[in-house]
Amino acid sequence: MVTKVTGNGQPFLNTGSRAANGRKGAEMATELIERLHRESASPAESVLKLYRKVLAVFYIEERMKAFARQGKCSFVASSRGHEVTQAGIASLLKPGYDWFFTYYRSKGTAVGVGLSLTDIFLGMLGRKGDPNSGGRNMPEHFSSRALHLVAQTACTGSQYLPAAGVARAVKADGQDAVVYVESGEGATSEGEFFEALNWAARESLPVLFVVQNNGYAISVPQQTQTASSVRKIAEGFGVRAVEMDGTSFDALYERVPDLIQWIREGNGPVLIEAKVVRLDPHSSSDDHRKYRNDDELLHALEWDPLLQMEARILEDQILSAGEMEFIRQEVKAEVEKAAEWADAQPEPDGRDLMVNIYAETPDVKKVGSSPRYISEEPITLIDAINHGLREELERNPRVVMWGEDIADPKGGVFGVTRGLTRMFGERVSNSPLAEASIAGIAGGMAIAGYKPIVEIQFADYLWPAAMQLRDEIPTVRWRSNGTWTCPVVVRIASGGYIKGGPWHSTCVESFFSHIPGWRVVFPSCAEDAKGLIKAAARSEDPVIFLEHKGLYRKVQAKTPEPDSDYVVPFGSGRIRHQGVDVTVITWGSTVYQALEVARQCEQRGRSVEVLDLRSLAPLDEELVYRSVRKTNRVVIAHEDSLTMGFGAEVAARIASECIDALDAPVLRVAAKDSFVPSAPTLEALVLPTADTLHKAVEQVLRY
């Protein structure tokens, strides 16, 4: 039963005079400590421990409101109303063994897992030495490797998939750890929440979903979110789900320990829909009086978890009024001290601004090797990838793979992974038809130390995973300032010339090269594909591995097979044809158009140098500039459409680095700014051809 308290607008229950019973603070403290020792491990002790945490949240929030008024913090999202759920459940788990995925309203969880007050304030104020993110992440976004508190983003709902991914790793490691993941009720309208429920249920993963239903998503009331309820939605996916009063510790302590135990015993996920109240506005940028009236706000106060807790502690005579006041002052002083200390720290100076976007791998070029072929027999690009994957599965037991249809007997719609399930069992498996899951679960497993290499069946269909591929995976290292890493490999079948029409022909290299954090590679021949998939499988960074469908079995893309030690380092392009009159810079399928043009030009006595970039991020600038300085003329060719294609980036860099070396304007040959049409005649008109490339080469040669 909930002990409702009377909402009187005061922060605390009136416990009488501060110098209760006329006793001095020190005397009361001794008595209290003695009593706590006597009652050690009793329920009273855990209640008092939780009370201190709940009080800490209250004073932190009060201090943060003051900092916000002073302009020292740009974003404060008070967890008042949620604190008993957050600190209470966190206290029932094992930080450092269990895992925690929080959201932007999680100071209760941060305090609950034991993040220090100074770390909380350093993060909130974004000061130098902030161990959460070094001032990179927003306030309210906490992180600690020691506590298994994973750095989060501000995206609503996208934490659920990585959380399920970590749970997959926990289960694969045979541990009984629990992965706690939380959000508000509004965030549960996001598809990624459904996908995470689905994946967690289908594999019985140890996830504790804690949805805190405070009735509002900023100003939008919960009825607007769904005709169902969070609990029912979870049950629909086969997840055990319970609703409870999240403002009272009785409910929590009565029910949650058993639920946690149930998860630890391997029975699968549980969802708790905790009914809470939002006592403060959504954030420091919101004024909730615009959409909540006085009656409602007063009613919310009746459910104030702190007031209820104090009432209960007094009622059960766990503390006297005087003792309670003593603890309040003590916690307040601790919070104040930490706040003042953090406020005295300097602002970050930006010296490490560009650190921890990528791994600090020493000059990757130096770790390359030259190919030693295992036979003279040429193999296709598709077989090269398959063999590279097989070797890496053998080499590293933590390599795992999934995607749509990739398991045997089909082995992928193009057959890239054929035979791997037969050899490696569940390590190569089918996923649900859900791209956000494919990427998001991989992100989580990578955070927990696995090496997922996942497949997106067609580049055109990666967009459901956009949140994971843009906001989650590539920001992990950066947003935690190197505390967490997320080295997933995403293999993406891309490109046209296969009469695949608008939804099976897209090139996506410019999209990913624009996002810091990703390595982006695009091999055009078998030996490069094998060397690059192996580099990807060993990379400490996340990698986008683009596979051109038109090259999978192309005869010209065949080469002899390099041995298992061959690795093509990121950032190393390749001269595919030596020349002195003009440079064609290209990658992917247009490499073969460029080679064709080079042959044609040779017959007329003009020599064309063809550079295959192979790696777009990082870009082999040295190779590009050296060639431009040699030939003084450049054409950039790519299959992706012209505007904002990666060629624009290469052209801009050439302009700024070697304008003095150019004897002609830099030309670009690319697809028209259209989607790729289905009819073969139209496809051929949209995509670039050797003919259009030839014309551009002739044009720059005329200067």
Ligand X SMILES: Cc1ncc(C[n+]2csc(CCOP(=O)(O)OP(=O)(O)O)c2C)c(N)n1
Which of Mg ion, ligand X, none lies near 156, with the C-beta cut-off 5 to 8 A by kind?
ligand X
Residue 169 CB contacts under 8 Å (≥ 6 apart), including other chains:
444, 445, 448, 449, 450
Cβ 215 to Mg ion, closest distance in Å?
6
**Residues from 193 through 232 that contact Mg ion (CB under 5 A):** 214, 216-217
CB of 55 to Mg ion, least distance (A): 24
407 binds, among Mg ion, ligand X, none (CB under 5 to 8 A by kind): none
Query: What pairing do the DSSP bridges indicate for beta strands 220-221 and 216-217?
Result: antiparallel
In this chain, which of 105, 231, 548, 633 binds ligand X, going by CB under 6 A?
A: 105
CA trace torsion 526, 569, 134, 447 (10° rounding): 40
Q: What spatial distance separates the first Cα and last Cα of the chain, rounded to whole Å?
A: 87
Cβ burial, residue 611 (10 Å; 0-12/13-18/19+): buried
Query: Would you say 222 or 380 has its CB closer to ligand X?
Result: 222
Residue closer to Mg ion (CB basis): 153 or 559: 153
Query: From the CB of 154, what's the least distance to ligand X, in Å?
Result: 5
CA torsion 44→50→56→58, rounded to 10°? -100
Q: Which stretch binds Mg ion (CB under 5 A): 35-43, 122-130, 182-190, 589-597?
A: 182-190
Does residue 72 contact residue 272 with C-beta atoms inside 8 Å? Answer: no
- Of these, 184, 495, 550, 688, which contacts Mg ion (CB under 5 A)? 184
Contact between 126 and ligand X per CB under 6 A: no
CB of 161 to Mg ion, least distance (A): 20
Binding site partner of 504, from Mg ion, ligand X, none, Cβ cut-off 5-8 A by kind: none
Which of residues 119 and 472 has its CB atom nearest to ligand X in the complex? 472
Strands (E), 116-167: 149-150
Among 282, 292, 530, 576, binds ligand X (CB under 6 A): 282
Kindly state the smallest distance separating residue 295's Cβ from Mg ion, in Å. 20
Is residue 284 within the footprint of ligand X (CB under 6 A)? no
218 binds, among Mg ion, ligand X, none (CB under 5 to 8 A by kind): ligand X
Q: How many residues bind ligand X (CB under 6 A)?
A: 15
Measured CA to CA in angstroms, residue 301 lies from 15, 288, 441, 539, 579 at distances of 17, 14, 39, 52, 78
Q: Which of 288, 504, 548, 694 is catalytic?
A: 504
In terms of Cβ atoms closer than 10 Å to its own Cβ (0-12, 13-18, 19+), residue 333 is exposed
Site string for ligand X, 262-281 (x = CB under 6 A): ----------------x---
- Using the minimum distance from each CB to ligand X, give the nearer residue, 190 or 392: 190
Q: How far is CA 78 from CA 65, 105, 122, 296, in A?
A: 9, 6, 17, 18
Q: Is 186 in the site for ligand X (CB under 6 A)?
A: yes
157 contacts 195 by C-beta, under 8 angstroms:
no
Q: Using the rule CB under 6 A, is 216 a contact of ligand X?
A: yes
Its sign, for the CA torsion 385, 386, 390, 393, is: positive
Measured from the CB atom, is 209 or 570 closer to ligand X? 209
Q: Is 154 in the site for ligand X (CB under 6 A)?
A: yes
* Nearer CB in complex with ligand X: 215/403: 215
Identity of the residue, 109 or 356, whose beta carbon is nearer to Mg ion in the bound complex:
109
Quote the tokens at residue 190: 């996001």
Our answer to whether residue 37 is catalytic in this structure is no
Q: Residue 527's Cα: distance from chain center in Å?
A: 31
Residues 6+ apart with CB under 8 A from 676: 496, 500, 501, 502, 505, 506, 683, 686, 687
Q: Considering the rule CB under 6 A, would residue 187 count as an interface residue with ligand X?
A: yes
**Helix, coil or strand: residue 46:** helix
Q: What sign for the dihedral angle of Cα 84, 155, 240, 279?
A: positive
3-state secondary structure of 108: helix
Tell me which stretch binds Mg ion (CB under 5 A): 5-13, 47-55, 177-185, 390-398: 177-185
Which helix (H) or strand (E) segment is 311 a member of?
helix 305-315
Instruction: Write the CB contacts of 554 (distance below 8 Å, at least 6 apart in sequence).
Output: 380, 381, 592
Closer Cβ to ligand X, 216 or 646, answer by number: 216
Rounded Cα distance between 151 and 142, Å, is 6
Q: Is 281 in the site for Mg ion (CB under 5 A)?
A: no
According to the binding rule CB under 5 A, does residue 513 interact with Mg ion? no
* Per-residue interface string for the shown chain with ligand X, residues 82-101, x marking contact by CB under 6 A: --------------------
Binding site for Mg ion (CB under 5 A): 184-186, 214, 216-217
Catalytic residue positions? Answer: 504
Binding site for ligand X (CB under 6 A): 105, 154-156, 183-187, 214, 216-218, 278, 282
